Chain A
Amino acid sequence: MMKARTALLLGSLSAALVAFALTSPRVVAADKVDPVADAKAFQNFFFQKFPNVKHEDFVNGPYSMNEDMKRQWQEKEEFPPYEFALDAGKEMFATPFKNGKTYADCFPNGGIGIRQNYPYFDTGEGKVVTLELALNRCREANGEAPYSYVKDEMASLTAYMAFTSRGKAMDIRIPDDRRALEAFENGKRYFYTRRGQMNFSCASCHVQSPGERIRAEVLAPALGILNALPIYRSEWSGMGTTSRRFITCNSQTRAVPLEPQADEYRDVEYFLSYVANGLPISGPGARP
């Protein structure tokens, strides 16, 4: 009951704040987009809510929240179920396209150890570019058909690229460009907006309830939630890309999912990755 009371209190408190903000232009001005302050508040929220979780452990999703699960997972990591995808990804990465070029030609540093810089804001295009999108653009620029964003080939490629970046701190930049700030703000809004018949926002599950069980599944914290992607899930008996996970979370809560790599998904990925700056890449991950 305590929990419900606190929630009630917070609810009316923020309602009061809105009313206040609506009548006071000065507060609205002070509320302008400030990603640095947002990232700090976001991280502190989780650090304070889970004082016993080591900061770099948040990137392990549900395992950071539950000791028993963590032990089982550590045993599993000796024979990781994503290994087949890693091997496939490595080979695909090295195999030249029909025109003789490779993925390495499309990326800084030949694509090795760069996962932590994705997504980035492309000032030419004026939009967020995710790793999955960059990989398909690379294919198309070299005369190859794009891969499905939710299937194994894309998961294998991103698994390999994440693996070469393990341990590197997430390092997302917001260039000095009004549109980049808008993309960040748009991603944040998407993340906090309730939708669908169940009336959930992403934050309902991953900010309000991390560590709680929803049926048998332990909810991952939103902090560092993309650092482990792509992930192997026993439930899927296979790998899932970031696109697949977003679509699954939307449709499981009876919200209409967006197209993979829709602007809002790109923006929410930008927001979630930026607020995880400093936390290590841990992908590919494995989930029960």
Chain B
Amino acid sequence: MPFVLLNTIFCRYLKPRNDALTAFPRKPALLLALVVLTGLAAHPAGAQSAIAEGEKLAFDRGKGNCLTCHVIKGGDLPGTIGPELKDIKAKYPDRNELVAILFDETKRNPQTMMPPFGRNRLLTDQEISAIVDFLQTL
């Protein structure tokens, strides 16, 4: 077997050692997200601020840090590892698809470089939701 491809295989056998954080309970985040979402539906002004918040989270180096790998309109010093994020709504009309990509892209593509932001608790469900709102404006 071409061992150059082995990394997906190893990660199936060996639990990454530093993933202690994945053990956190998820319920509170879900609840919070629900509360926020209900709030949003009632107040369109809230949607605007969720988009702004999503952009901030996406660009923040300590949070999404999406510019590490993606060109995104309005962001500086992007990397080239992932595709440019544009025309997102046309490509992914269903926002759940975007949530899934952010939650754990290794589900779609075991080899992907994209970190599993949700699964590994890099972002909360609420933060992912805000970023998805922002992505849908691109």
In the complex, chain A residues 1-21 whose Cβ is within 8 Å of any chain B Cβ: 1, 3-4, 7-8, 10-15, 17-18, 21
**Nearest chain A CB to B66 CB, angstrom units:** 11
B122, CB-defined interface residue at 8 Å: yes
Across the interface, A196 reaches (CB within 8 A) one of B4, B5, B6, B16, namely B16
Q: Chain A contacts of B80 at CB under 8 A? A: 212-213
Q: List residues of chain B with CB within 8 A of the CB of A188.
A: 3, 6
Residues of A within 8 A of B96 (CB): none
Tell me, yes or no, whether A165 is within 8 Å of chain B by CB.
no
- How many angstroms from the CA of A134 to the CA of B6 in the assembled complex? 32
Contact mask for chain A residues 207-244; partner B; CB cutoff 8 A; 1 contact, 0 none: 11100111110000000000000000000000000000
- B4 engages A193 (CB within 8 Å): no
Closest to B104 in A: A199
Decide if A10 touches B5 in the complex (CB within 8 Å): yes
Binds A, one of B31-39, B43-51, B106-114, B129-137: B106-114
B112 touches A203 (CB 8 A): no
Given contacts A45-B2, A213-B79, contact A194 B112 (CB under 8 A): no
State whether the Cβ of A127 lies closer than 8 Å to any Cβ in chain B: no
Q: Are A215 and B1 in contact (CB under 8 A)?
A: no
- Please pick, from A12, A201, A213, A215, the residue contacting B7 in the complex, using a CB distance under 8 A: A201
Given A45-B2, A213-B80: A195 and B17 interface contact (C-beta under 8 Å):
yes
Question: Complex: how many Å from CA A81 to CA B1?
Answer: 43
**List of B residues within 8 angstroms of A8 by Cβ:** 108-109, 111
Counting CB contacts under 8 A, is B9 at the interface? yes
Q: Which residue of A lies closest to B1 (CB)?
A: A17
Complex Cα distance A194/B16, Å? 6
Could you say which residues of chain B place their CB within 8 Å of the CB of A17? Answer: 1, 9
Contact B68–A215 (Cβ < 8 Å): yes
CB of B113 within 8 A of CB of A200, answer yes
Using a CB–CB distance below 8 Å, which chain A residues touch chain B? 1, 3-4, 7-8, 10-15, 17-18, 21, 31, 38, 41-42, 45, 188-189, 192-201, 203-205, 207-209, 212-216, 254-256
Give me 5 A-to-B residue pairs in the complex whose CB atoms sit less than 8 angstroms apart, sorted by A's number.
Answer: A14-B5, A192-B10, A198-B115, A212-B79, A213-B79
4 residue pairs, one from A and one from B, having the closest CB atoms: A11-B110, A192-B7, A11-B111, A198-B115
